[in-house]
């Protein structure tokens, strides 16, 4: 992801990685009939695949937004917060729930901040046609 170029393609590509992770986890849960990680599966699918793919497509369709510094902040906050969140959800299920809940909260706040930057970017840089 080079400075000055749109982050849209990077969003779509990483979204596809989250999609595969969500699908593999879903298949494993179905095969084992163990659904303890359904929240991990859901977050990977919704915040990883769906939200990031849509954001990437918006950035591709609105190049001014995709080239903005805000889009790069969005990308890195989202891709820091989401892995922290889902790994902490696994940790919460199989380990220390008090410490894991704090980590889930931090990851969640990072993703929230990322999506606030996305929203600010759209209001600042998306022009009416």
Phi, psi of 65 (to 5 degrees): -70, -40
| CA distances in angstroms from 70 to 11, 48, 82, 116, 129, listed in the order given | 13, 19, 18, 10, 21
Angle, helix 51-61 to helix 97-125, in steps of 10 degrees: 20
Q: Return the pLDDT at 5.
A: 86
Residue 3 clears pLDDT 80, i.e. is over it: no
User: What number of other Cβ atoms are within 10 A of residue 108's Cβ?
Assistant: 18
Give the tokens for residue 89: 């959800």
For 84-107, what is each residue's pLDDT tens digit?
A: 999 999 999 998 788 899 999 999
Asked whether the predicted pLDDT for residue 129 surpasses 50, the reply is: no
Residue 19 has pLDDT above 60, yes or no: yes
CB-based burial, 54-73: b 16+ in 10 Å, e otherwise = ebbebbbebeebbbbebbbb
Percentage above 90 pLDDT, the chain: 89
46-90 pLDDT per residue, tens:
999 999 999 999 999 999 999 999 999 999 999 999 999 999 999
């Amino acid at each position: 992801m080079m400075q000055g170029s749109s982050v849209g393609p990077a969003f779509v590509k990483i979204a596809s990685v989250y999609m595969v992770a969500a699908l593999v986890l879903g298949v494993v849960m179905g095969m084992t009939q163990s659904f303890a990680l359904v929240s991990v599966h859901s977050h990977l699918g919704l915040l990883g695949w769906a939200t990031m793919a849509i954001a990437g497509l918006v950035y591709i369709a609105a190049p001014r937004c995709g080239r903005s510094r805000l889009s790069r902040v969005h990308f890195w906050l989202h891709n820091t917060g989401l892995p922290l969140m889902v790994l902490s959800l696994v940790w919460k299920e199989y380990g220390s729930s008090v410490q894991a809940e704090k980590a889930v909260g931090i990851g969640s706040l990072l993703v929230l901040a990322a999506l606030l930057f996305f929203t600010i970017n759209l209001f600042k840089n998306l022009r009416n046609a």
